[in-house]
Structures are given as structure tokens and as C-alpha cells.
């Protein structure tokens, strides 16, 4: 009977988890193997080196948080408002390691120090903004309005978790819901 190998996806998932809590320096082969309860040898069955893992982590993040999310929104159909509403709901529910804000922020911080990551982040951000423009463009005639709404919604996704302010007697959830309605009018 053969030895069961830890799937490649587990290495990437746990790498993403380490990245989200400690940045790229936290993604190390030995601690990752310990976390998975395996030897380092299993790592080399999938990856040439740590850089190969980091590349796959970034590619997986890009694919799952951008293209797979867009595909999910598109499959359900509807007009621009319906798709935006679905997208907002899916993103708001995204509290997993892949879709949570922590990994997004960790990648943004990493991009400040690594040009290769910065290039990939810019590609992801451009794709996300382009999709928002496309959806808002279905019901907003003014290109300036489309651009403002796209930037506001995107900024809200990235920056909202960093804001510690109170909301004048309103809950954060209520303010975000009001923002959603306002953006979709």
C-alpha cells in the first residue's frame, strides 16, 4: 500500500494562510511541512523551491479571487445591477483564506517590496476595475460616473477593514448596505 501524499493544493492553501498572517517571509518550507504534519520531502515532490511555491500562491490567489469570482457572477446571469449585487454579496461573504481581506492586504504589502508581485497585483487590480466598469456601464451613461462608482466600490473592498471609525450611531453593516443601495441606483 502506497503512502498518501499531501495534495499540492494543501501546500498552496496553507502557504496562503501563512502569507495572510505573516507576509511572504512567513511562507517557509519547514514550518509549512510541520503545519501539514509531513516531511519537507513532500514539498519537493511538487515544487522546485520556495519561489515556485510563492509563484503558485500568487497565481492561485489571482485565479480564485478574480477570474473564478467573475465566472461565478456571470454564470448566474442578470443585468449589471444584478451582477454587481451578487458580486458585492460574494465578496462580503468571502472570509476564507483565499477570499478574505487579510491575504489581499498581505499581497499589497508584499508588492511594495517586490516588483514581480507589484506587476501581478496591478494586473489583478486592472482586471477587477475593468469588470466593475463593465457592470456599472450597463446602467450608468456617464463615463465619469462609471469610473467613480468603480473606484469607490473597489476602494471600499480594500480599505473598509482598515477603518476603525464609528458611524454616527449606525452599524458598519448598515452603512455598507446603504452604500450598496446608493452605488446601484
Closest C-alpha to 24, from 90, 160, 120: 120
pLDDT at 160: 86
Average pLDDT, the chain: 92
Q: Can you tell me the mean pLDDT for 37-65?
A: 93
Cβ atoms of residues 184 and 81 within 8 Å = yes
| Chain centroid to CA 151 | 16
8-183, which class in CATH?
mainly alpha
The string of pLDDT tens digits covering residues 35-46 is 999 988 889 989
Q: Work out the pLDDT band at 1, boundaries 50, 70, 90.
A: very low
The string of pLDDT tens digits covering residues 65-118 is 999 999 999 999 999 999 999 999 998 887 565 667 889 999 999 999 999 999
What pTM does this model have? 0.90
pLDDT at 39: 87
What own/partner pairs with CB < 8 Å and gap ≥ 24 does 127-132 have? 127/66, 127/67, 128/66, 128/154, 129/154, 131/70, 132/84
Cβ atoms of residues 140 and 146 within 8 Å = yes
Amino acid at each position: 500500500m502506497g503512502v498518501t501524499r499531501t495534495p499540492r493544493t494543501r501546500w498552496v492553501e496553507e502557504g496562503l494562510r501563512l502569507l495572510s498572517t505573516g507576509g511572504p517571509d512567513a511562507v517557509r518550507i519547514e514550518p509549512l511541512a510541520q503545519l501539514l504534519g509531513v516531511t519537507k520531502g513532500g514539498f519537493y515532490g511538487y515544487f522546485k523551491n520556495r519561489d515556485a511555491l510563492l509563484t503558485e500562491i500568487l497565481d492561485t490567489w489571482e485565479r480564485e479571487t478574480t477570474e473564478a469570482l467573475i465566472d461565478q457572477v456571470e454564470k448566474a446571469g442578470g443585468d449589471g445591477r444584478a451582477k454587481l449585487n451578487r458580486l458585492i454579496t460574494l465578496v462580503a461573504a468571502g472570509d476564507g483564506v483565499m477570499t478574505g481581506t487579510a491575504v489581499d492586504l498581505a499581497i499589497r504589502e508584499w508588492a511594495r517590496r517586490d516588483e514581480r508581485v507589484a506587476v501581478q497585483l496591478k494586473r489583478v487590480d486592472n482586471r477587477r476595475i475593468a469588470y466593475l466598469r463593465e457592470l456599472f456601464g450597463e446602467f450608468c451613461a456617464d463615463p465619469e460616473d462609471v469610473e467613480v462608482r468603480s473606484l469607490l466600490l473597489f476602494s471600499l473592498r480594500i480599505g473598509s477593514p482598515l477603518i476603525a471609525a464609528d458611524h454616527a450611531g449606525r452599524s458598519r453593516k448598515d452603512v455598507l448596505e446603504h452604500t450598496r443601495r446608493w452605488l446601484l441606483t
